[in-house]
């Protein structure tokens, strides 16, 4: 039986999933300041006016200024000692998820299962509708596997790979498969601002940005520099000889023959520059399309895949 395109509503499973990753916090906190252990429990530190902001200010179940519900003030202007109850946090979450629900139902153009909807809803709440549009490009072309695979590209916040985001994407893929998604028992640090593939700290990446993290790009950069110097030097020598010595066609032919080796060196060097540029372009394209990211297998010196928290054991979402 063929699936029909319908508008889904969140399941109880995805509500439990989202709540577990967002973690109820009654006060405003900075999501990139790692929690500290107080009385045996990990807790986020309260953000206060004047404190530097490293990540995104958050309250309740992952509510930020970018979400739909409006508290009446921006979180950076929070009154001193402001608190919300868990009941209020659930109310805020319901409103924030309504917006995400509408985004998924509107932007997805093909039939999807409840599990696939739940996965996309959680993703949208964490990453935003802009990243959802990119994520579902394969899906809207009928490539369901392609979109499932792309979840793995959204694991960085402020240019840093976060273990909490990796676990969240894994859980969303489990929801996608209609299987058991795993919830963290303890706080799992995450970034409310998740970088799209191809960006570093929210800005489109360049080869120069990636070079410090890739042995391949560093080698290519050195090769291109050496080839460029060689090409310029040899070409300048040949041109200088032509200008100073060639006085006719026969002289030009003799000079070409005499400098044949240098000309070959110059051509090879120029070809090496072209090849290096092509490889750099391929690498940048891989980064923009989520096929390679900071922390890749051949990058031992990359940014740390660490969020400052030791993850606890996990438990499956109750059906």
Q: What is the pLDDT of residues 183-200, one digit of tens each?
A: 766 666 555 567 777 666
Residue 88 lies in a domain: yes
277 plus 145 within the same structural domain: no
189 plus 215 within the same structural domain: no
Choose the weakest-confidence range: 185-189, 197-201, 224-228, 242-246: 185-189
273 plus 227 within the same structural domain: yes
Residue 297 lies in a domain: no
Choose the weakest-confidence range: 139-143, 244-248, 270-274: 244-248
Q: Identify whether the C-beta of residue 10 lies closer than 8 Å to the C-beta of residue 31.
A: no
Residue 300 lies in a domain: no
Residue 218 lies in a domain: yes
39 plus 182 within the same structural domain: yes
191 plus 257 within the same structural domain: no
35 plus 153 within the same structural domain: yes
The range of the structural domain enclosing residue 250 comes to 209-288
Residue 64 lies in a domain: yes
162 plus 92 within the same structural domain: yes
For 224-240, what is the mean pLDDT?
A: 86
- pLDDT above 50: residue 307: no
Q: To the nearest whole number, what is the mean pLDDT of the chain?
A: 81
Quote the number of domains for the chain.
2
Pairwise CA distance, residues 219 & 214, whole Å = 9
Pairwise CA distance, residues 95 & 100, whole Å = 9
258 plus 237 within the same structural domain: yes
Residue 142 lies in a domain: yes
Residue 293 lies in a domain: no
Residue 124 lies in a domain: yes
89 plus 231 within the same structural domain: no
Pairwise CA distance, residues 309 & 167, whole Å = 13
29 plus 167 within the same structural domain: yes
Pairwise CA distance, residues 307 & 299, whole Å = 19
Q: What is the pTM of this model?
A: 0.64
Looking at residue 246, what is its pLDDT? Answer: 62
Pairwise CA distance, residues 307 & 200, whole Å = 17
153 plus 236 within the same structural domain: no
């Amino acid at each position: 039986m063929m699936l029909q395109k319908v508008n889904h509503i969140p399941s109880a499973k995805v509500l439990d999933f989202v709540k577990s990753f967002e973690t109820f916090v009654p006060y405003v906190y900075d999501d990139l300041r790692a929690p500290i252990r107080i009385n045996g429990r990990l807790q986020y530190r309260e953000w206060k006016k004047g404190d530097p902001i490293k990540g995104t200010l958050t309250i309740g179940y992952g509510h930020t200024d970018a979400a739909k519900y409006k508290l009446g003030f921006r979180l950076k202007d929070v009154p001193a000692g402001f608190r919300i109850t868990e009941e209020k946090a659930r109310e805020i979450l319901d409103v924030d998820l309504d917006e995400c629900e509408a985004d998924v139902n509107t932007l997805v153009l093909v039939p999807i299962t409840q599990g696939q909807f739940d996965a996309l809803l959680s993703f949208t709440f964490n990453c935003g509708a802009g990243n959802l549009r990119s994520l579902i490009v394969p899906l809207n072309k009928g490539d369901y596997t392609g979109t499932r695979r792309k979840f793995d590209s959204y694991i960085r916040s402020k240019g840093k790979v976060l273990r909490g985001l990796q676990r969240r994407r894994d859980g969303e893929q489990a929801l996608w498969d209609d299987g058991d998604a795993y919830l963290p028992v303890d706080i799992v640090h995450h970034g409310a601002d998740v970088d799209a593939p191809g960006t570093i700290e929210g800005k489109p990446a360049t080869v120069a940005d990636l070079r410090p993290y890739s042995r391949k790009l560093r080698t290519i950069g050195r090769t291109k520099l050496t080839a460029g110097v060689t090409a310029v030097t040899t070409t300048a020598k040949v041109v200088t000889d032509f200008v100073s010595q060639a006085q006719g066609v026969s002289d030009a032919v003799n000079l070409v023959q005499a400098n044949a080796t240098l000309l070959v060196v110059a051509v090879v060097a120029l070809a090496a520059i072209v090849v290096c540029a092509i490889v750099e372009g391929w690498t940048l394209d891989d980064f923009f399309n989520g096929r390679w990211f900071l922390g890749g297998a051949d990058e031992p010196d990359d940014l740390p895949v660490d969020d400052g928290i030791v993850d606890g054991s996990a438990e499956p979402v109750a059906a």
